[in-house]
Chain A
């Protein structure tokens, strides 16, 4: 009932929202409010979840913070709105959040039919399956007739249908509104398998009663480029959000970390021998590139100082030093054979 009220309210907001207010730029309204309203996951370890002190943490959270640091100079000026899979798009459309940073897959239909824009990918992922070890199977293609727990309102549902059709598996999906309920049902044995993004599986496995009793099958059945989404029609805000991510990538590429950003700034001061021109431009030492997207010269400095570069964010949230222990894989920088590639800051 909570969620039905929520969705109806969002639709009502969409109906009631005056067209004039909508025309005001997101940047202006964020500055006026003094905070970024960021739509995030209700709780997905490593991506967006309150930590043991009750503070939101995760890779998606770091992107919210990066935007707040770039726009307001304060990475903590964020208001988090937890949204389940089904609520997220209406919340963004109706202006309840300024930005959706919630392990959301960039697809053609979402990009074109929902009134949203995707411009960057902060985690390249794909859909996988988790099963109990004692089921004794080693491939998703063996799941003939299996019951599969799924979360409603995700790309997962349709991928499962496609995979089922391709291999004629006749699987039975059992669909829950909330991922916590889906996971619990899988854990209690209601389903033979649980399916979602591979990163999500790794995160959800940490919450099972006996994580070691479960394995993630090798098949990746889809491409799930997860990234931030903004409302369609405000290109300036779309620029800001995507460049917040790119700044973190360039930071990693250039070896700028939250710890050494001040040194780097000093080392690359104007006129210094051997200074790196892109670092100078990124940190606002020479050009004022930030102005082009309506931000101050320090926008990228603030991101790197307060949040850190992409590699730092990856390691602390989902990497080997975190409970998820994910490989960089596709998310390594392009210089390391991965897909993370930022357009140049110039």
Chain B
């Protein structure tokens, strides 16, 4: 019978199914999934039942209700008639904006401080150490409140605002600057910018090929920057500068017109970036220290300058160690933006909070917010994993 049939295909049929490791594993997985589904179902039905006994309605219809409250900062136009859903979208954009700026800024400061901590200069490395230790050991909320009060206190009242040439105004209401208002021909300038960028990429490719072929170097950065900047500027001048500037002016209680950087966004970005940079600095330092000193010596022996050694030899190798923990710092940034409500920046949590209070739909509002943060975190992780694979050591 089949019991003694040889060959790999007949092999598994020989044993009872629960002795088969693979099938057992499958069974466990099915059980776990079923358990999770049952738990979710239980929680959901229980919540619905509880809300029903309390007489609380459930549903997403509230997203269409007129909000009736204003928000102080938004990337999309909103007013007192906007729906709650629209304000939540505005909150999401505000969170994304703050997260994006903080990621860039904290990475920059973090790399700088991480490298400076390893500097041979005693004073500089000490200062970097003090920064890292001081910032890491004070709760973020305290730091944000500190920066907020510091900024609001440091800048004068609106009526005594500092004016730079009557164009830029600094006060505790924010930094007001002229707003560019594009005129008819402005699209041509944008086309010129696109062409400039394309040229820059072209130069880079050409220069790389040439270097590979001949070993000759070419100032890529400078020439690319030139192409990106010069071409649109030239076109703009030729067209007679198709941009008008709307100047801010003090009217009544506040400045009207222009663009403004409010103290709330500034505080969030500064506070959160400085905080996260301290952690990133340590990650960078660790990554660099993990690269054997022999690499540096070898690079020096080849005649590379210290700055090039760092840029071309050490950092590319260190990045492989740095990137995975860096991902979790970026995830932290996204989550930490929810402290914004303390300093009145209208992020998603702050708008969800108001919506929750006005509509009473706690479960739905929290679900929307959790869904958003889950998605954002997944996107950040996915992107960082992709980047990590790209820079991973290619074994030859």
Contact = CB atoms under 8 A, between A and B. Distances in A.
Interface of A: 1-4, 7-8, 10-11, 14-19, 22, 85-86, 89-90, 93, 109-110, 112-115, 143-147, 149, 152-154, 157-158, 160-162, 164-165, 171-178, 181-182, 184-185, 188-190, 192, 231-233
A255 to B, nearest CB: 41
Nearest to A154: B357
Interface string B345-365: 010011001101111101100
Interface string B154-175: 0001000000000000001100
Contacts of B358: 109, 157-158
A10 B362 contact: yes
Contact residues on B (Cβ < 8 Å of other chain), bracket = 35 or more
B91 to A, nearest CB: 12
Contacts of B380: none
Interface in B324-346: 335-336, 338-339, 341-344, 346
Contact of B157 (A8, A10, A19, A189): A189
Given A14-B47, A175-B72, A89 B354 contact: no
Interface of B: 43-44, 46-47, 49-51, 53-57, 67-72, 80, 140-141, 145, 148-149, 152-153, 157, 172-173, 251-254, 256, 263-264, 335-336, 338-339, 341-344, 346, 349-350, 353-354, 356-360, 362-363, 366, 370
B357 A143 contact: no
B327 to A, nearest CB: 20
B46 A188 contact: no
A155 to B, nearest CB: 9
B350 A145 contact: no
Contacts of A232: 54-55
Given A109-B358, A113-B56, A158-B358, A172 B254 contact: yes
Given A14-B362, A89-B360, A188-B153, 9 more contacts: A7-B356, A11-B366, A144-B253, A149-B344, A153-B353, A161-B67, A165-B80, A176-B342, A176-B343
A1 B336 contact: yes
B253 A93 contact: no
Nearest to B139: A1
Contact of B43 (A15, A160, A175, A188): A15
Contact of B145 (A3, A143, A181): A181
Q: At the interface, is chain B mostly helix, strand, loop or mixed?
A: helix
Contacts of A109: 358-360
A184 B357 contact: no
B56 A177 contact: no
A190 B173 contact: yes
Given A15-B43, A19-B49, A190-B263, A161 B359 contact: no
B69 A89 contact: no
- 3 smallest beta-carbon distances between A and B, as pairs: A115-B54, A177-B341, A114-B360
A161 B55 contact: no
A172 B252 CA distance: 13
A320 to B, nearest CB: 34
Nearest to A1: B339
B54 A181 contact: no
A16 B54 contact: no
Contacts of A1: 140-141, 335-336, 338-339
A41 to B, nearest CB: 15
B69 A15 contact: no
A224 to B, nearest CB: 15
Contacts of A113: 56-57, 359-360
B253 to A, nearest CB: 4
Contact of B50 (A8, A22, A184): A22
Contacts of A158: 68-69, 358
Contacts of A112: 55
Given A145-B251, A173-B71, A233 B149 contact: no
A331 B250 CA distance: 43
Contacts of B152: 185, 188-190
Given A153-B354, A185-B148, A172 B362 contact: no
B253 A178 contact: no
Nearest to B173: A147
A174 to B, nearest CB: 5
A188 B146 CA distance: 13
Given A1-B338, A164-B70, A172-B70, A192 B253 contact: yes
A145 B359 CA distance: 28
A231 B71 CA distance: 31
B100 to A, nearest CB: 20
B254 A174 contact: no
**Which has the most chain B C-beta neighbours within 10 Å: A85, A114, A164, A182?**
A114
A157 B72 contact: no
Contact of B343 (A2, A19, A181): A181
Contacts of B252: 144-146
A176 B347 CA distance: 11
B68 A162 contact: yes
Contacts of B359: 109, 113
A145 B354 CA distance: 22
B353 A177 contact: yes
Given A160-B69, A164-B70, A15 B47 contact: yes
Given A22-B53, A145-B256, A174 B341 contact: no
Given A1-B339, A86-B353, A185 B344 contact: yes
Contacts of B254: 145-147, 172, 192
Nearest to B358: A158
